[in-house]
Amino acid sequence: MNQEKLIEKSSQYLWLPFTQMKDYDADPLVIESGEGVYLRDIHGKEYLDGYSSLWLNVHGHRNEEINHAIKEQLDKIAHSTLLGASNIPSILLAEKLIDLSPEKLKRVFYSDSGATSVEIAIKMAYQYWQNIGRPEKQKFITLKNAYHGDTVGAISVGKVDIFHRVYKSLMFHSLVAPFPDVYHHPDLDDADEIRDRCLQELEEILREYHHEIAGMTVESLIQGAGGMNIMPKGYFKGVEDLCRKYNILLIVDEVATGFGRTGKMFAVEHEGVQPDIMTVAKGITGGYLPIAATLTTEEIYEAFYDDYNSLKTFFHGHSYTGNQLGCAAALANLEIYKRENLIEKTQEKISIIENLLKPLKQHPHVGDIRQLGMICGIELVIDKESKKPFEWEDRVGYHTTLKMRELGMLTRPIGDTIVFMPPLAANEEELREMVSIMSEAIEMTTKKYAGEKAV
């Protein structure tokens, strides 16, 4: 089919996620292939994959080993159900995940996306308390600006106003504690003070409601879609201590941060946090196939282990749960981490990125650069001193990413924060090229605001 026809049909038949289709129709993009850290569209134009194809890709596109593992599995079987039957790759992967994850986690429950892994975590925590005779523990507590995916359970613990407000009456109610957002805090700028105040406010809520709270959901160390905001040192551990003190299950969302993104296999390792439930997805297959998992403790697992008639069974499962192709891809993906000592190698890339981003700090419209490992957010503001944002209608973040696309790099903004999350496999030259494109696009997009200040 010719290129123009394809573009026409993409606008005629598709409805893309998190996309205003009017924007897409104005400037359609159809990807045809990829290689390493590059994506190629149907016109043959190449783009650096600056968002790891939505925070997934690890070793680059068309990695031979992962491709081979998928093909090999395909010659055995593509899929059989995990309801009442297991399969070889799902067993081997479960063992590997448990080996890699924090000590307390002993069981793996599969699903197929980050949101479903969170949905499962919520239902698991909810039912756990019923199964052990504490049915009054039904509430969830979450953090301001949290994002855990788009299914109804996941949005119920999601607190990003623009994504979630429209569904308000559809969601279950959850309690909300403040997030220690250092850059955007209205009256404090000392990270330790912000941490202590937020922990104090969290404790006040827990003190009052703990007997009704089943679990606390929290993104691991950094809020992604809520703005790329990193917790100050000690906050995450503080949350864990409070969950223990008030007997609340700690549900940690490692969907975006897992598998080396932050410089550790899981971001919980930075503060030695031991979740009761942990969700993983995205990087689990290196970005090749849609599988996810919810990991939990033996204690939680045992609360569901009984005669069928006790109704303690976890009545949850998806058709593609434990899909063999996905598990085979994940096994091959994780094998590369081990053989290549990838986490170790990532440390060097993290410092390269840090150094490359440094000069951007001088730019008059770069308000803040937040980096946790290979997750970066570059926040653009109209006035650095007052941190005043650009007008919402100006869509400066969006226009910057469109400019980046023109210059040969793809990413998506979160408001006016530019997401920079390259595949872990990106080499120094590729990282340099990505940062250079980003700098140029920021310069070109913001130059018309030169000299504009807060009023």
As measured in angstroms, the least distance from the Cβ of 372 to ligand PMP is 13
Please, are residues 318 and 112 in contact by the beta-carbon 8 Å criterion? yes
- Closest approach, Cβ 21 to ligand PMP, in A, equals 19
Distance CA 436, CA 428 (A): 12
Binder of ligand PMP out of 180, 224, 377, 413 (CB under 6 A): 224
Least separation in angstroms between CB 281 and ligand PMP: 5
Q: 148 or 349: whose CB is closer to ligand PMP?
A: 148
Is residue 318 marked as binding? yes
With b meaning 16 or more CB within 10 Å and e meaning fewer, what string describes 273-307? bbbbbbbbbbbbbbbbbbbbbbbbbeebbebbeee
Asked if residue 219 binds ligand PMP (CB under 6 A), the reply is yes
Give the whole-angstrom CA distance, residue 50 versus residue 47.
8
Is residue 255 a contact point for ligand PMP (CB under 6 A)?
A: yes
The answer to whether 283 contacts ligand PMP (rule: CB under 6 A) is no
Q: Among 225, 273, 331, 334, which residue sits at the site for ligand PMP (rule: CB under 6 A)?
A: 225
Question: Would you say 392 and 436 are in contact if contact means Cβ atoms under 8 Å apart?
Answer: no
Q: Which of 41, 119, 253, 379 binds ligand PMP (CB under 6 A)?
A: 253
**Chain residues 118-177 in contact with ligand PMP, contact rule CB under 6 A:** 118, 147-149
Phi, psi of 49 (to 5 degrees): -85, 80
The reply, when asked if residue 114 is annotated as ligand binding, is yes
> Smallest distance, Å, CB 15 to ligand PMP?
16
CA 365-180-278 angle, to 5 degrees, is 115
* Distance from C-alpha of 215 to C-alpha of 141, rounded to nearest angstrom: 7
| Residue 11 annotated in ligand binding | no
Give dist(CA 177, CA 293) in Å, integer. 26
As measured in angstroms, the least distance from the Cβ of 371 to ligand PMP is 17
Phi, psi dihedral angles at 303 (to 5 degrees): -65, -15
8 A C-beta contact, residue 198 and residue 179: yes
Of these, 36, 102, 114, 238, which contacts ligand PMP (CB under 6 A)? 114
Of 149 and 153, which CB lies nearer to ligand PMP in the complex structure?
149
Inter-residue contact 50 to 420 (CB < 8 Å)? yes
Which residues make up each annotated binding site for pyridoxal 5'-phosphate?
A: 114-115, 253, 318-319
Residues near ligand PMP (CB under 6 A) are 113-115, 118, 147-149, 219, 224-225, 253, 255-256, 281
